[in-house]
Amino acid sequence: MSTLGEELSVHPVTARCMAGRGVSTVEQGRAFLEPRLADLRPPRGLAGLGRAIDRLDRALADGERIGIFGDYDADGVTTAALLGGYLSALGASTEVRVARRDAGYGFG
Protein backbone atom coordinates (compact mmCIF):
# COMPACT_ATOMS: atom_id res chain seq x y z
CA MET A 1 0.00 0.00 0.00
CA SER A 2 1.36 3.41 -0.93
CA THR A 3 1.68 6.24 1.53
CA LEU A 4 -0.64 9.21 1.59
CA GLY A 5 2.12 11.40 0.19
CA GLU A 6 2.61 9.09 -2.76
CA GLU A 7 -1.12 8.90 -3.43
CA LEU A 8 -1.32 12.69 -3.47
CA SER A 9 1.99 13.11 -5.34
CA VAL A 10 3.49 15.43 -2.74
CA HIS A 11 7.02 15.69 -1.35
CA PRO A 12 7.62 13.68 1.86
CA VAL A 13 8.15 16.92 3.82
CA THR A 14 4.75 18.17 2.66
CA ALA A 15 3.20 14.83 3.61
CA ARG A 16 4.73 15.09 7.11
CA CYS A 17 3.40 18.63 7.47
CA MET A 18 -0.06 17.46 6.45
CA ALA A 19 0.06 14.55 8.88
CA GLY A 20 1.08 16.95 11.64
CA ARG A 21 -2.06 18.94 10.91
CA GLY A 22 -4.29 15.89 11.22
CA VAL A 23 -4.59 14.94 7.54
CA SER A 24 -4.91 11.17 7.38
CA THR A 25 -7.03 10.34 4.33
CA VAL A 26 -6.72 11.07 0.62
CA GLU A 27 -9.95 13.10 0.77
CA GLN A 28 -8.62 15.23 3.63
CA GLY A 29 -5.36 15.59 1.72
CA ARG A 30 -7.10 16.87 -1.39
CA ALA A 31 -9.12 19.33 0.69
CA PHE A 32 -5.89 20.51 2.35
CA LEU A 33 -4.04 20.92 -0.94
CA GLU A 34 -6.94 22.44 -2.87
CA PRO A 35 -8.95 24.45 -0.33
CA ARG A 36 -12.25 26.03 -1.31
CA LEU A 37 -13.57 29.30 0.02
CA ALA A 38 -16.80 27.52 0.96
CA ASP A 39 -14.84 25.26 3.34
CA LEU A 40 -13.50 28.13 5.45
CA ARG A 41 -15.06 28.74 8.82
CA PRO A 42 -17.27 31.82 8.87
CA PRO A 43 -15.57 34.80 10.54
CA ARG A 44 -18.60 35.31 12.81
CA GLY A 45 -16.93 32.99 15.31
CA LEU A 46 -13.90 35.23 15.82
CA ALA A 47 -13.79 36.63 19.33
CA GLY A 48 -14.34 40.39 19.41
CA LEU A 49 -15.23 40.67 15.71
CA GLY A 50 -18.44 42.59 16.38
CA ARG A 51 -16.62 45.11 18.58
CA ALA A 52 -13.89 45.52 15.94
CA ILE A 53 -16.48 46.18 13.22
CA ASP A 54 -18.28 48.71 15.41
CA ARG A 55 -15.00 50.48 16.18
CA LEU A 56 -14.00 50.64 12.50
CA ASP A 57 -17.45 51.97 11.58
CA ARG A 58 -17.11 54.69 14.22
CA ALA A 59 -13.57 55.59 13.07
CA LEU A 60 -14.72 55.83 9.46
CA ALA A 61 -17.75 57.95 10.36
CA ASP A 62 -15.68 60.30 12.55
CA GLY A 63 -12.82 60.63 10.06
CA GLU A 64 -10.28 59.19 12.48
CA ARG A 65 -6.87 58.03 11.31
CA ILE A 66 -6.75 54.21 11.37
CA GLY A 67 -3.53 52.40 12.20
CA ILE A 68 -2.88 48.98 10.66
CA PHE A 69 -0.06 46.83 11.99
CA GLY A 70 1.06 43.73 10.10
CA ASP A 71 3.61 41.03 10.77
CA TYR A 72 6.65 40.85 8.51
CA ASP A 73 5.77 37.46 7.03
CA ALA A 74 4.03 37.03 3.68
CA ASP A 75 0.48 36.88 5.02
CA GLY A 76 1.04 39.74 7.46
CA VAL A 77 2.40 42.09 4.79
CA THR A 78 -0.31 41.06 2.33
CA THR A 79 -3.12 41.49 4.85
CA ALA A 80 -1.86 44.89 6.00
CA ALA A 81 -1.61 46.10 2.39
CA LEU A 82 -5.06 44.79 1.44
CA LEU A 83 -6.75 46.20 4.53
CA GLY A 84 -4.99 49.54 4.13
CA GLY A 85 -6.03 49.75 0.48
CA TYR A 86 -9.61 48.75 1.25
CA LEU A 87 -10.04 51.24 4.07
CA SER A 88 -8.41 53.98 1.99
CA ALA A 89 -10.87 53.24 -0.82
CA LEU A 90 -13.65 53.80 1.73
CA GLY A 91 -12.18 57.23 2.42
CA ALA A 92 -10.24 56.42 5.58
CA SER A 93 -6.96 58.02 6.49
CA THR A 94 -4.70 55.05 7.23
CA GLU A 95 -1.19 54.42 8.43
CA VAL A 96 0.15 50.97 7.64
CA ARG A 97 3.16 49.67 9.52
CA VAL A 98 4.88 46.32 9.18
CA ALA A 99 7.01 44.82 11.93
CA ARG A 100 10.74 44.75 11.37
CA ARG A 101 12.36 41.36 11.61
CA ASP A 102 15.30 42.80 13.57
CA ALA A 103 13.04 44.53 16.11
CA GLY A 104 11.33 41.40 17.46
CA TYR A 105 7.60 41.03 18.01
CA GLY A 106 5.19 43.62 19.27
CA PHE A 107 4.45 47.27 18.59
CA GLY A 108 7.82 48.54 19.93
pLDDT in tens, the chain (108 residues): 358 889 999 999 999 999 999 999 999 999 999 989 888 888 888 899 999 999 999 999 999 999 999 988 899 999 999 999 999 999 999 999 998 777 666 665
Give the list of residues 6+ apart from residue 71 with CB closer than 8 angstroms, or none: 77, 98, 99
First to last CA, the chain: 53
Q: Give, in order, the Cα–Cα distances in Å from 5 to each of 17, 24, 27.
A: 10, 10, 12
